[in-house]
Amino acid sequence: MKIKAVIFDMDGVVVNTEPVGYRADNDLFTALNIQVPDDVYATFVGTSPINNMQRLKELYNLPLSFEELLAKRQKYYFDVFDAAQDIHLMPGVLDLIKNLRQNGMMVILASSAVKIKINKILDRFDLHPYFDKVISGEDFEFSKPNPAIFIEAVAQSGFSKNECIIIEDSANGIQAANAAGVYCIAYVSNHGLAQDTTGADKIITDFSALDYLKISNLNIK
């Protein structure tokens, strides 16, 4: 069965925004007078800000309400994001997306990020024309590693899960792909904190390792 749709995560796969998030979150942690070790922070990667702030509040018994904490986090994030000059598309990812679309492959973005952040990224890099569907984790009660966003992405593709693949970079995202029963390719770069990719079906370190023919002919059981 040929692959007909590719579902991309955004942060750490399409764009190198994870270092920006790391800087912004550490500014937030300093303001909150807490220290979040990298091994704990690494478990936040790939999940939604909503879930992460709920978890942060519980882990550190913070006095702020959840709504106050989320609003504070959004402010810190976009202050850093809007000023950042070091946000770039991942090397080769746009060439891959163009190659897929030129050959009739459906391309879907499924990100845990909130809609405003997704739209800022799409606007910044003129990416709107390249995605057939854009799905935000903001619309789901549970974030990755819960598979809800990927189950929805498959449903919106109109194809079966065996006709779709997911490209992820985080342990949480890979777990979500596995739980959704969708073939998962892990993209490993040097832009973020190390992630456990052992659950992926295939691991790449360069998008030049993929193209339409290689993806469409993947043997998925």
For residue 204, what is the enclosing H or E element? strand 202-204
Q: What is the DSSP letter of 160?
A: -
Q: Which of 9, 39, 95, 169 is catalytic?
A: 9
Q: Find all residues with CB under 8 Å of 31, minimum gap 6, and list them.
A: 72, 76
9 is a catalytic site residue: yes
82 is a catalytic site residue: no
Q: Which of 11, 27, 86, 132 is catalytic?
A: 11
Strands in 183-187's sheet, in edge-to-edge order, are 133-136, 106-111, 5-8, 164-168, 183-187, 202-204
**Residue that has been written with the tokens 């997306």 in this structure:** 97
For residue 118, what is the enclosing H or E element? helix 115-124
Instruction: Name residue 108's beta-bridge partners.
Output: 7, 133
Question: Contact, 18 vs 45, CB < 8 A?
Answer: yes
Residues with catalytic function: 9, 11
